[in-house]
Amino acid sequence: MKRNITLLSLSLALCLSSLTNTALANTQDKPFAIAIHGGAGTISKAKLTMEQQQAYRAKLTEAVDAGYKVLAKGGDSLAAVQASIVILENSPLFNAGLGAVYTFDGSHELDASIMDGRTMNAGAIAGVQHIKNPIELAYKVMTDSPHVMLQGAGAEEFALTQGMSLVPTQYFDTAQRYQQLFDAKQKITAAEMTQGYQASVNALDLDYKFGTVGAVALDQQGNLAAGTSTGGMTAKRYGRVGDSPVIGAGTYAENGVCAVSATGHGEYFIRYMVAGDICAKVKYQDKSIIRAADEVINQRLITAGGSGGVIAIDQRGNIATPFNTEGMYRATRSKGEPAQVMIWQDQ
Ligand code: ASP
């Protein structure tokens, strides 16, 4: 009898240990990775001081590490994307949350979106003025409302029903962004008087410092997610909405295919369905993520005259970060590897 019990416990122990080993092997085999961006634009090497560079690199590292930690613990890609984006929204260095650019009228209107590649569900908000972390509200729209996009006062009312508090719009103010508005307005009004509104906006393009933030991630369960958050473009007119909250333009995620977050001149990204087009090339033309993203950013968009870039990730954790501007703040981190932080093509 005693011998039988010992044999039984031995086989139970063996069975348990083989189960644990299989579970371990399963997670060990699973790739996971995250990529983030802090905006593309005219980031001049000559103008960015060493201290500024270090500040950007440190914040990007902190943000990518936060998302990576979520993934390494087995957390889901949606949580990782939010963990990274919240850190960038809370930093005045980037054009999202605190430090958002000013509208033409001197206020702030923020846009954000998030997409779950597993369910193809998505949430977005546009033109909010009192939400400290727009990505969190976009997530709530996805999980707790029957809608995909809420805008303005309605979005803020929804935030209150979700127990989120509102911040005064002055919370987003920074002196540096105010100066950018001042400079931009002078150029716009001068050009507008001679060439009209459309020409004046076009003339300003290269001076916009984009600075939107975003993240894409693949978790150990194979789920893809993408999120983007922005203050939009300096001196945008009242009510203008860019690509960042538009699913398929600034943000897209689909399990088995890819996840994309964009930054750049939103009007082009909307018209060329940039995020969705990259994933369509992967899905229907079987192109690699590197090739698909490069074709859209460095061929199609350049021909169209649209500037900006994307971060994109595929089902195996391959990452592409093409941009057609001087620079794009970005960081990536793949399973078991240290963070890679870059601003220009080569560093
Ligand atoms: N894409 C954003 C917009 O057009 C701007 C940016 O990426 O910085 O609103």
Q: Degrees (nearest 5) of the Cα angle 68, 273, 77?
A: 20
* pLDDT score, position 136: 98
User: Which residue, by CA, sits nearest to atom 8 of ligand 1?
Assistant: 210
Instruction: Give the pLDDT band (50/70/90) at residue 25.
Output: very low
CA of 79 to the centre of ligand 1 (A): 23
* pLDDT score, position 24: 47
Domain that holds residue 293: 32-342
* pLDDT score, position 346: 87
Q: Is residue 257 one of the residues assigned to a domain?
A: yes
Q: Is residue 134 one of the residues assigned to a domain?
A: yes
CA of 210 to the centre of ligand 1 (A): 6
CA of 40 to the centre of ligand 1 (A): 9
Whether pLDDT at 9 is above 60: no
Lowest mean per-residue pLDDT among 25-29, 177-181, 220-224: 25-29
- Per-residue pLDDT averaged across 225-234, rounded? 96
What does the block give as tokens for 220?
């150990």
* Active-site residue flag, 27: no
Mutate-to-test residue for ligand 1 from 230, 268, 269, highest number of ligand atoms within 8 A of CB? 230
Taking the model in full, what pTM does it have? 0.90
Beta strands of the chain (E only): which ranges? 33-41, 110-116, 121-128, 149-151, 213-218, 224-230, 251-254, 258-264, 308-314, 319-320, 327-334, 340-342
Q: Which atom of ligand 1 is nearest to the CA of 210?
A: 8
* pLDDT score, position 23: 46
Q: Which atom of ligand 1 is nearest to the CA of 111?
A: 9
Q: Is residue 308 one of the residues assigned to a domain?
A: yes
* pLDDT score, position 30: 93
Q: Is residue 2 one of the residues assigned to a domain?
A: no
Query: What average pLDDT does the chain have?
Result: 90
CA of 244 to the centre of ligand 1 (A): 6
Q: Using a 6 Å CB cutoff, which residues line ligand 1?
A: 39, 95, 210-212, 230, 232-233, 242-244, 250, 263-266
Catalytic residue among 20, 161, 212, 325: 212
Give the list of residues 6+ apart from residue 343 with CB closer than 8 angstroms, or none: 43, 48, 53, 56, 57, 327, 328, 329, 330
pLDDT in tens, 101-114: 999 999 999 999 99
Q: Judge contact between 270 and 248, C-beta under 8 A.
A: no
| Distance from C-alpha of 340 to C-alpha of 329, rounded to nearest angstrom | 11
Mutate-to-test residue for ligand 1 from 43, 237, 246, 265, highest number of ligand atoms within 8 A of CB? 265
Domains: count for the chain: 1
Give the list of residues 6+ apart from residue 225 with CB closer than 8 angstroms, or none: 76, 77, 78, 80, 81, 114, 115, 116, 117, 216, 217, 219, 253, 259
User: Which residue, by CA, sits nearest to atom 9 of ligand 1?
Assistant: 232
Mutate-to-test residue for ligand 1 from 88, 89, 263, highest number of ligand atoms within 8 A of CB? 263
* pLDDT score, position 46: 81
CA of 44 to the centre of ligand 1 (A): 18
* pLDDT score, position 347: 87
Whether pLDDT at 19 is above 90: no
Q: Is 342 exposed, middle or buried (CB count within 10 Å of its CB: 0-12, 13-18, 19+)?
A: middle
* pLDDT score, position 42: 76
Instruction: Give the pLDDT band (50/70/90) at residue 316.
Output: very high
| Distance from C-alpha of 271 to C-alpha of 249, rounded to nearest angstrom | 8
Q: What is the CATH number of the domain that holds 215?
A: 3.60.20.30
| Distance from C-alpha of 72 to C-alpha of 28, rounded to nearest angstrom | 10
Q: Is residue 3 one of the residues assigned to a domain?
A: no
Q: Is residue 269 one of the residues assigned to a domain?
A: yes
* pLDDT score, position 185: 86
